[in-house]
Amino acid sequence: MRRAQSSLEFAIVIFAIIAALLAMQVYIRRGLQGKMRSSADELSLQQYDPGKMSSDITTTQQSDITTTSVTTEDDECYTTTTANTINFQTESRSGTESIASEK
């Protein structure tokens, strides 16, 4: 009788652990998807499901770059050195993004 009780208690504990993991599965998945979306937005990648989302986003980039080229002659050999200096660079995004309702 005591052995059956121990087996039943063990089965209940295992069942409770499995039920807890299944219940947390949705929250863990949503957390990981949110983190991936946040990382993609930081990299300025536009990732969305075209069947469920619509977006109208305009990206504007502006920069001021100075290019300097110097050519030198050394023993009938020409060497050209080019240097690019980025004085400033800006990028802005504006628009809307919405999720369509489930059908």
Is 73 part of any domain?
Answer: yes
Nearest-Å Rg of the Cα atoms of the chain is 30
The boundaries of the domain holding residue 39 are: 2-48+61-87
Model confidence over 28-82: pLDDT tens digits? Answer: 888 888 888 887 777 765 555 656 677 788 888 888 888 889 998 888 888 888 9
Is 27 part of any domain?
Answer: yes
Distances (CA, A) of 78 to 51, 68, 69, 72, 84: 57, 16, 13, 6, 20
Is 102 part of any domain?
Answer: no
Is 76 part of any domain?
Answer: yes
Distances (CA, A) of 64 to 61, 69, 82, 89, 90: 11, 17, 16, 7, 9
Q: Which has the higher per-residue pLDDT, 26 or 46? A: 26
Q: Which amino acid is at 15?
A: F
What pLDDT does residue 76 have?
A: 80
Is 37 part of any domain?
Answer: yes
Residue 103 has pLDDT above 60, yes or no: no
If one counts the domains in the chain, the total is 1
Q: What is the mean pLDDT of residues 75-96?
A: 84
